[in-house]
Amino acid sequence: MNIVQEKPIAAHVPPSLVRADWPFVFGTRTTKDPFNEIAPKVHAEEPDIVYALHAYPGGSPAWVPRRMAILREIYQDHEHFSANDNAPYAKLVGGTWQLSPASLDLPHHALIRQMANPAFTAKAMAALEGRIRGYAREYIDAFASRGYCEFMEEFAFEFPIKVFMELMGLPTDRVKEFLEWEHAIIHSEDLITMADAIRNVTDYLRTEIEDRRRHPRKDLITYGVQARIEGRRLTDDELMGFLVLLFIGGLDTVSTNLGHQIGHLARYPEHQQFLRANKAEIPHVIEELMRAYSSVTNFRICKKEVEIAGLRFMPGDQVAISTTLAGRDPAEFESPNEVRLDRRPRHTGFGFGIHTCLGMHLARRELRVAMEEFLAHIPDFRVAPDHQMQWTLGVIQPVELPLVWKPL
């Protein structure tokens, strides 16, 4: 793994909290179940906050809280913690943009969010329902009759991309190439590979931006090009940060959750049968599955000395906010390692506070439609016998999910 050179541990970090073998290392893979094996072990054995040497992308150290209450406290403390550079992709290629609005602080965040919100309202996403359902059926029809599929490759990765590419106005014949770039950015352990992919994405987006300036269309790139904040156009950095955020989020978030949620139903046939008989419960169950299988780690940088849970955080300290640990917090959820279909959890799968995911209405609709269509057109399914599950870490995602059922 491409790990940065370790620096001396700061004097304010208690040696007893330092972890050199933290299990959630960006860009690596594991055969240990991150949700049902690793997270419960962390909650059972670790203090509320540890200092993990390889918790930040690239292998640098960060404070890691395991409690939902601490996660929320840090999310909402804009005085002491900054979202700037929480995904420092631009620095890898010599850029100066930030993922907008995800990596912006107030008041700049509010301006970009206000600009972007109208394009992602629940009403705007509802208008896409028919096309989303049509794309789901298109992929399912391709493998339903044969009795098996590799769910990640044949559905989870590509289904949401069709919707995303339509919204962005991007060509569908480059799906494979876009996926390669996205996987290198989100799941690579090598900074050079990550940088090459980021450069490919930004170079491509610059070409598309110039095209929309000359030939506007009804798509999100044109929306960004024509958008105004406080009466002015977006700067080049604001526009690039906005579009890179859409690119990364549009190609990964839904795929990840689809893999976890359909994988859960494949492993728990009683839950699968319940949803077949109670389709109206699907939206509620998706929220519980997002709690149980929260997959994202977000990041903050301390900008002003502060005490959290009895520990001193100093300017420059990095913080890794694991929604995986928060979703399995026994202080927040009764029996957190049990999926309860009647639970109505307040999870952090879409973030929290002002940085709640911009595309959550679209993501929820895609997840619901995909589950409805899969249950409607695929009979009782399970994970292929003898398959050894493996997950990427960082953004936690099944590497493969082979499913089998009785051929139609």
Q: Are 343 and 334 in contact (CB under 8 A)?
A: no
Q: Between 356 and 339, where is the model more confident?
A: 339
Question: Has residue 356 got a pLDDT over 80?
Answer: yes
Asked if residues 175 and 165 have their Cβ atoms less than 8 Å apart, the reply is yes
pLDDT tens digits, one per residue of 26-35: 878 999 999 9
The mean pLDDT of 218-243, rounded to a whole number, is 95
Does the pLDDT at position 41 exceed 90?
A: yes
Per-residue pLDDT, averaged over 283-307, amounts to 95
Predicted confidence at residue 164, as pLDDT, reads: 85
Domain 15-405: which CATH number of 1.10.630.10, 1.10.760.10, 3.10.20.90, 1.10.10.10: 1.10.630.10
DSSP run (H or E) holding 203:
helix 191-214
Q: Which residues pair with 308 in a beta bridge?
A: 311
Share of the chain above pLDDT 90, in %: 71
Average pLDDT over residues 208-232: 96
Using the predicted structure, report yes or no on whether residue 4 has a pLDDT greater than 60. Answer: no
Q: How far apart are CA 228 and CA 238, in angstroms?
A: 11
Is 111 in a helix, a strand, or coil?
A: helix
> Exposure string (b/e) for 341-376, b if CB count within 10 Å is 16 or more?
eebebebbbbbbebbebbbbbbbbbbbbbbbbbbbe
Look at residue 7 in the predicted model and tell me its pLDDT.
64
Q: Where are the domains of the chain?
A: 15-405
Sheet containing 391-392: give its strands across.
29-30, 391-392, 397-398
Rounded to 5 degrees, φ, ψ at 228 are -130, 145
Q: What percent of the chain has pLDDT over 70?
A: 97
Among 70, 16, 136, 1, residue whose Cα is nearest residue 352: 70
One-letter amino acid for residue 53 of the chain: L
Residue 351: predicted pLDDT: 83
Write out pLDDT tens, residues 164-214.
888 899 888 888 888 888 888 877 767 888 899 999 999 999 999 999 999
Mean residue pLDDT of the chain comes to: 92
Q: Residues 68-83: what's their mean pLDDT?
A: 95
Q: Is the pLDDT of residue 350 over 90?
A: no
* pLDDT digits 0-9 by tens, 310-344: 999 999 999 999 999 999 999 999 999 999 999 99
Strand-by-strand arrangement of the 18-19 sheet: 18-19, 49-56, 60-65, 318-322, 297-302, 81-82
Q: What's the pLDDT score for residue 3?
A: 44
Confidence category of residue 51, pLDDT binned at 50, 70, 90: very high
Structure confidence at residue 289 as a pLDDT band (50, 70, 90)? very high
Alpha-carbon radius of gyration of the chain: 21
Q: Using the predicted structure, report yes or no on whether residue 43 has a pLDDT greater than 90.
A: yes
